[in-house]
Amino acid sequence: MYDFKIAAADKATLYRDLASALEGLVAGEPDPVANMANAVALIWETLPDLNWAGFYRNLGGELVVGPFQGRPACIRIKLGEGVCGAAAATLAVQRIDDVHAFPGHIACDAASNSELVVPIVRDGQLLAVLDLDSPKPARFTEEDEAGCVRLAEILARAI
């Protein structure tokens, strides 16, 4: 049984513990789907105020939904479309305080108000993006971004 109950007083500690739990969870497992599924379950259990968390995989230049938690989501997203597509096209993190003000935002769940999308890149190639949505406006801070970039680095070796 895996029992990763992470409770930390501050975000730096929270993300440090989350990264180390993720390292342990994916260690020795080569299957990308298994690792994405466990990773998103861990993130969902650990980070507060999310209404969707999951992966879009880069399959032949199109983003296709992967393991996630939350409501059923749009399946395919073209590079450059929406927040996920912008992250995929530019390989740059998208940290959006108000998704309704983002041109082309794709509303999969009307409850979403802010979003953080982190590209997962290995050897210069986009593997997937990690997408976190929140009903809280401006939910994601610079510390969340840094913490999730660290998670993406671990996942780049595990998916």
Name the residues that contact ligand SME, by CB under 6 A: 52, 73-74, 77, 82-85, 105-106, 108, 112, 115, 131, 133
Residue closer to ligand SME by CB (options 35, 81) is 81
As a residue count, the chain comes to 159
Work out how close the CB of 117 gets to ligand SME at its nearest, in angstroms, rounded to a whole number: 7
Q: How far is the CB of 149 from ligand SME (least distance, A)?
A: 18
What is the Cα–Cα distance from 55 to 69, expressed in whole angstroms? 10
Minimum distance from CB of 52 to ligand SME (Å)? 5
Report residue 17 as tokens: 């513990």
Using the minimum distance from each CB to ligand SME, give the nearer residue, 43 or 108: 108
Judge whether 156 and 21 are in contact, CB under 8 Å: no
3-state secondary structure of 52: strand
Which CB sits closer to ligand SME, 85 or 147? 85
The smaller minimum CB distance to ligand SME, of residues 35 and 112, is found at 112
* Residue 10, helix vs strand vs coil: coil
114-122 and 62-70: which strand pairing?
unpaired
